[in-house]
Amino acid sequence: MTDDTRLAERSGPLSHIRVLDLSRIMAAPWATQILADLGADVIKVERPETGDDTRSWGPPFLRDAEGRTTKDAGYFLAVNRGKRSITVDIAQPKGQAIVRQLAAKADIVIENFKAGALARYGLDASSLRGLNPALIYCSVTGFGQDGPRRDQAAYDFAIQAMGGLMSITGERDGRPGAGPQKVGIPIIDLMTGMYAAVAILAALARAAETRRGETIDLAMLDVSAAILANQAMNHLLTGRIPTRGGNQHPNIQPQDVFACADGTFVLAVGNDGQFAKLCSVLGKPEWASDPRFSTNAARVTNNAALTELLGAQFAGRTRREIVAALDEAGVPAAPINTVDQVLADAQVRHRGMLQHLSHPIAGSLPQIVSPIRMQDAPLRFDRAPPTLGQHTRSVLGEIGFSETEIAALAAEGVV
What residues act catalytically? 189
Residues near 244 by beta carbon (within 8 Å), at least 6 away in sequence: 167, 168, 169, 170, 171, 172, 173, 178, 179, 180, 181
Q: Measured at the alpha carbon of residue 316, what is the angle toward residues 313 and 320, in degrees to the nearest 5?
A: 100
- For residue 178, the 8-state DSSP code is B
Q: How far is CA 289 from CA 270, 275, 293, 301, in A?
A: 17, 10, 7, 16
- Is-contact 144 125, C-beta < 8 A? no
As a whole number of angstroms, the distance between CA 131 and CA 109 comes to: 13
User: How far apart (Å, rounded) are the C-alpha atoms in residues 130 and 125?
Assistant: 9
DSSP conformation class of 26:
S
User: Phi-psi category of 376—alpha, beta or left, where left has phi over 0 and alpha has psi -120 to 50?
Assistant: alpha
Beta bridge partners of 365: 357
C-alpha 376 chain-centroid distance: 25
Q: Which residues, 6+ apart, have CB-to-CB distance to 37 below 8 Å? A: 12, 81, 82, 369, 370, 372, 379, 381
CA–CA gap between residue 314 and residue 258 (Å, rounded) = 7
Please state, in angstroms and rounded to a whole number, the distance separating the CA atoms of residues 280 and 337: 26
For residues 217 and 203, give the distance between their C-alpha atoms in angstroms, rounded to a whole number.
12
Query: Are 160 and 166 a contacting pair, CB within 8 Å?
Result: yes
Whole-angstrom CA distances from 316 to 275, 303, 310 are: 20, 21, 11
Helices (H) and strands (E) in the chain, counts: 17, 13
What CA–CA distance (Å, rounded) separates 110 from 18?
Answer: 11
Nearest Cα neighbor of 52 from 32, 24, 92 is: 24
